[in-house]
Chains A and B, each alone.
Chain A
């Protein structure tokens, strides 16, 4: 018995000796295992070398952005939050409103060369609420055009379309050369992303001062252009899954979609050349585009400053330098970090020009706007339904459609407080 006790004591002593460098453990959650597992595996290799004193424990991977949001809300009820969580850019607001996400300002204030490390204004703006930064964007996607170059060449199109008029022109040329399905325009992408893209292209946010902002000339131009694209190009009403598969199989000439699908499309594509090009605008390039993707937020409930510091170090590591570069290396997304894109990744983009398209659009980065209030998802659906009615050809009068839609949305948005006189 005595012997047993002494061995026990000895082994205890030995284990404390090994742990002389005390490790701080932080817990991290992120979505989309099939996309980001590889990214984090790559990042962690470098992170462990640079911060041997921090032990990162990954939680079960969230299925998607909605799930990521749900899980954090649930975990805040059961008081079981991780330290860092990756959240969809349009899902951050609710975590800030509910006081779950922590402001990062105190940590940023302590950094000396924050801007030099590539954190620029447009990037920080994506996670700014009430003038405070609550997250650092980690991986960003923007809408781009995908082109089947074999079809484009056959139709004699030399210059990639830069405006929607040119897109419609290309459609006609493609049709003439025998392409049955010249275009897929991703109206059905999540969160009304493309509607917001059409509005941001004209520098118009879809929500302004808490109110819907579509019943105006910019909105009219957006939906009339959609109608033109759908009707004059003879676009088939495909689900996005069908569209991606159909484009990969070489049946669609031009596809407008998120740059994040590039990896999957290139993997699955048949024997033809794909090129990506900037998202077209109205008269010349778009003036802005909504950013998709996710940001790292701190949701730690720990009061231990060491642990908070470790969480901040992790957030910083994955959004700058080699950590940020890993995003471009492993996914179709890009890191929003300027320094990472311009210095570390310049060679990489030269070798992968299709991935560079979205990077060239970085200055256009705008908010992917979340609809305020509890009925935000219902608003998304109303706009989705309106766009669908254009796709299937149920609607002719665009003005009436906008008016009707805007009125319906007004009922769903939270009532504005009457300003005191």
Chain B
């Protein structure tokens, strides 16, 4: 009886998880499917997952004054070809990597010493500073976007990499996360290092940093995902130069309003953009979950 009962709850649990999983996977399924299909198949919802891959005519190419014969192509070629040709996606991806890695690198540079000082050192005003860190967590970016923009404009940094990176270099979330983690590190370890004559800075980088790797990885995923996917901020500070676009900005090249979007190339671009993140997550999945459990963000 007991056994029967537990297998029933087991089934129920799995069923719930499967439904939840489907809900999450479905948009990805549509994204991938659309990236293979021709515009007509997308509009009329035919062609199954892969589409029929029949020869189609690239209307854009016809409008440029070429003959229809010269503009024949297949849907996959059309979608992925446009993703890389019309929006220089490689350039955007490189920009995305430069920006997210720079942000993460500087965030760590700031967060580790700050978190160490807050967690392990005793100094006047420490509690006040820590509560300011907590308070910082409450401020949404959008509320301070305008003053930030004006400040950057005044120093002439609009339309530069710096505009994309500088506002994010101090992450209160990072400081908080590392603080919570450092509190679980025994004081004895720090004291031992001090007895061995290490300076506070080398304690941060040579003792605390190695112990904090799992937490850092978790933070890395939060930070990289947030800034890789960020649309709002790049959209505001990058107005002139295509060469500084990050991947999400590249997406909107295909977004249409009243006159229909280019769904195929749009979804192909989206697929290319999310792939690095998914691969990174799958590789670091174990560390990611460890990190979250370890750092006390339960």
Quick check: B238 and A35 within 8 Å, CB to CB?
Answer: no
List A contacts of B241 (CB < 8 A): 59-60
Contact with A along B54-88 (1 / 0, CB 8 A): 00000110011100000000000000000000100
List A contacts of B245 (CB < 8 A): 60
Contact of B43 among A32, A63, A248 (CB under 8 A): A248
Contact with A along B107-125 (1 / 0, CB 8 A): 0000000000000000000
Quick check: A32 and B159 within 8 Å, CB to CB?
Answer: no
Q: In whole angstroms, what is the CA distance A42 to B65 when docked?
A: 8
Q: In whole angstroms, what is the CA distance A331 to B255 when docked?
A: 16
List B contacts of A9 (CB < 8 A): none
Contact of B249 among A27, A58, A60, A78 (CB under 8 A): A60
- Given A38-B64, A42-B63, A260-B259, the answer on whether A79 and B153 have CB atoms closer than 8 Å is yes
Asked whether A264 is an interface residue with its Cβ less than 8 Å from the other chain, the reply is yes
Chain B residues 233-262 with CB under 8 Å of chain A are: 236, 238-242, 245, 249, 252-262
B205 to chain A, nearest CB (A): 38
Contact with B along A99-119 (1 / 0, CB 8 A): 000000000000000000000
Quick check: A260 and B258 within 8 Å, CB to CB?
Answer: yes
Q: In whole angstroms, what is the CA distance A61 to B235 when docked?
A: 11
List B contacts of A79 (CB < 8 A): 153
Contact with B along A44-87 (1 / 0, CB 8 A): 00000000000000111101100000010011011110100000
Q: In whole angstroms, what is the CA distance A8 to B63 when docked?
A: 45
Chain B residues 3-23 with CB under 8 Å of chain A are: none
- Given A74-B239, A267-B39, the answer on whether A332 and B259 have CB atoms closer than 8 Å is yes
Asked whether B28 is an interface residue with its Cβ less than 8 Å from the other chain, the reply is no
Chain B residues 158-216 with CB under 8 Å of chain A are: 158-159
Asked whether B149 is an interface residue with its Cβ less than 8 Å from the other chain, the reply is yes
Contact of B258 among A27, A258, A330 (CB under 8 A): A258
Contact of A32 among B65, B242, B249, B256 (CB under 8 A): B256
Quick check: B64 and A33 within 8 Å, CB to CB?
Answer: no
Q: In whole angstroms, what is the CA distance A262 to B144 when docked?
A: 42
Asked whether B225 is an interface residue with its Cβ less than 8 Å from the other chain, the reply is no
- Given A34-B259, A260-B258, the answer on whether A63 and B150 have CB atoms closer than 8 Å is no
B132 to chain A, nearest CB (A): 30
CB nearest to B236 among chain A residues? A74
Q: In whole angstroms, what is the CA distance A261 to B260 when docked?
A: 8
- Interface residues contributed by chain A, number (CB under 8 Å): 38
CB nearest to A79 among chain B residues? B153
CB nearest to B60 among chain A residues? A38
- Given A41-B64, A63-B255, the answer on whether A34 and B262 have CB atoms closer than 8 Å is yes
Quick check: A38 and B239 within 8 Å, CB to CB?
Answer: no
Quick check: B260 and A78 within 8 Å, CB to CB?
Answer: no
Asked whether A329 is an interface residue with its Cβ less than 8 Å from the other chain, the reply is yes
A68 to chain B, nearest CB (A): 11
Quick check: A268 and B259 within 8 Å, CB to CB?
Answer: no
- Given A74-B149, A267-B260, the answer on whether A61 and B239 have CB atoms closer than 8 Å is no
List B contacts of A282 (CB < 8 A): none
Asked whether A240 is an interface residue with its Cβ less than 8 Å from the other chain, the reply is yes
Quick check: A240 and B86 within 8 Å, CB to CB?
Answer: no
Asked whether A37 is an interface residue with its Cβ less than 8 Å from the other chain, the reply is yes
Q: In whole angstroms, what is the CA distance A261 to B86 when docked?
A: 22
Quick check: B153 and A37 within 8 Å, CB to CB?
Answer: no
Asked whether A263 is an interface residue with its Cβ less than 8 Å from the other chain, the reply is yes
Contact with A along B137-168 (1 / 0, CB 8 A): 00000000000011011001011000000000
Contact of A80 among B65, B159, B256, B259 (CB under 8 A): B159
A64 to chain B, nearest CB (A): 6
Q: In whole angstroms, what is the CA distance A71 to B235 when docked?
A: 10
A232 to chain B, nearest CB (A): 27
B254 to chain A, nearest CB (A): 6
Tell which of B241, B256, B257 has the most Cβ of chain A within 10 Å. Answer: B257
List B contacts of A96 (CB < 8 A): none
Q: In whole angstroms, what is the CA distance A270 to B40 when docked?
A: 10
A172 to chain B, nearest CB (A): 29
Quick check: B239 and A32 within 8 Å, CB to CB?
Answer: no
List A contacts of B65 (CB < 8 A): 42, 329
List A contacts of B86 (CB < 8 A): 37
- Sample of 10 more A-B contacts, CB < 8 Å, known A78-B152, A267-B39: A32-B256, A34-B255, A34-B261, A35-B256, A64-B257, A77-B153, A78-B153, A260-B258, A268-B260, A332-B259
A-B contact pairs, 29 of them (CB 8 A): A27-B240, A33-B253, A34-B255, A34-B260, A34-B262, A35-B256, A37-B60, A38-B60, A38-B64, A42-B65, A58-B242, A59-B239, A59-B241, A59-B242, A60-B238, A63-B252, A63-B255, A75-B240, A77-B150, A78-B152, A80-B159, A245-B43, A264-B259, A264-B260, A268-B39, A268-B260, A330-B63, A330-B64, A332-B259
Q: Top 6 closest A-B pairs, CB basis?
A: A78-B153, A264-B260, A34-B256, A264-B259, A78-B158, A330-B63
A residues in contact (CB < 8 Å) with B: 27, 32-35, 37-38, 41-42, 58-61, 63-64, 71, 74-75, 77-80, 82, 240, 244-245, 248, 258, 260-261, 263-264, 267-268, 270, 329-330, 332
